[in-house]
Amino acid sequence: MDVVNIFLTSELGESLEDFVHDQRRFTFDRLGPEGPRRLVEGPMWAFVDWVMPELAGLEMCRRLRADARTVDAHVTMVLEEDDPEDRRRALRAGADDYVIGPLTRTAVLDRVLALQSRGVERQATRRFELGALTIDMAALQARWNEQPILLRPNEFRLLRFLAENPNRVLTREDLINGLGKREPPIDERTVDVWIGRLRRAIKAAGGGNPLRTVRSLGYVFDLG
């Protein structure tokens, strides 16, 4: 039996129990600022409120897109009212589509079933374009002039973080923290090895070297 996992950032007025319908099992779960509480199999659907208690909805959306666990989720933004500007922003933040709230259980299911039956292809959403370099957060893929760069998970995270902070010297400590490495404490020299591997990967894809070493300080992603 198929499973459909639905995550919401806020409580629904109505009940949230899992149930089975039409040969599919629907599960509901809360979605916190740190992302989904549990890992699931099967397609994920996330509904993000425009306003949230702890975190702006757009930021939540971006985080979902950045989180490797939810990269394949279909993200729907919940708008309070039909503002064209907000719609555009929502999509730009990585949402796949939007509904005009408030959210009811019926609205959620309508959405999911409609899209499922239509077999929507989730198009790539969150994308950086920095010169010749493109970073596709949804597909977890980086390209240099359309040429895919073969990156290991850590290298991808590193590139993403550098690209998010262009033209800014990042110390080795910044980079370690930026990749969320805590335990065990990482030796700063290890960052050199990361950079080396990342550079080699970009080069192997025919790319240049956007990563500048700043002696005795750190590294910069050079833009322009």
Partner DNA sequence: CAGGCGTGTGACGCGTTTGTGACTGCTTTT
Partner DNA sequence: AAAAGCAGTCACAAACGCGTCACACGCCTG
* Site for a second copy, rule CB under 8 A: 22, 54-56, 58-59, 62, 84-86, 88-89, 91-92, 100, 102, 104, 106-107, 109-110, 113-114, 117, 119-122, 125, 129, 136, 138-140, 152-153, 165-170, 174, 177-178, 180, 214-217, 220, 222-224
204 part of the interface to DNA, by CB under 7 A: no
Rounded CA gap, 90 and 86, in Å?
A: 6
Rounded CA gap, 12 and 35, in Å?
A: 18
Rounded CA gap, 137 and 69, in Å?
A: 12
Q: Count of CB atoms within 10 A of residue 67's CB?
A: 14
Under rule CB under 7 A, which residues in 77-106 are in contact with DNA?
Answer: none
Out of 104, 145, 167, 190, name the contact with DNA by CB under 7 A. Answer: 190
- Residue 159: its H or E element: helix 153-164
169 part of the interface to DNA, by CB under 7 A: no
Residues 6+ away with beta carbon under 8 Å from 200: none
Residue 3 near residue 40 (C-beta atoms within 8 A): yes
Q: 21 vs 152, which CB is nearer to DNA?
A: 152
CB of 152 to a second copy, least distance (A): 7
Task: Count residues binding DNA (CB under 7 A).
Answer: 24
The one of a second copy, DNA, none whose footprint includes residue 38, by CB under 5 to 8 A per kind, is none
Out of 200, 204, 206, 223, name the contact with DNA by CB under 7 A. Answer: 200
Structure tokens at 193: 């090895």
Rounded CA gap, 120 and 111, in Å?
A: 11
CB of 91 to DNA, least distance (A): 23
Residue 12 near residue 105 (C-beta atoms within 8 A): yes
* Mask for 32-71, x = binds DNA (CB under 7 A): ----------------------------------------
- Positive or negative, the CA dihedral 41, 184, 55, 32 is positive
194 part of the interface to DNA, by CB under 7 A: yes
186 part of the interface to DNA, by CB under 7 A: yes
> Phi and psi dihedrals of 8, rounded to 5?
-130, 150
CB of 27 to DNA, least distance (A): 23
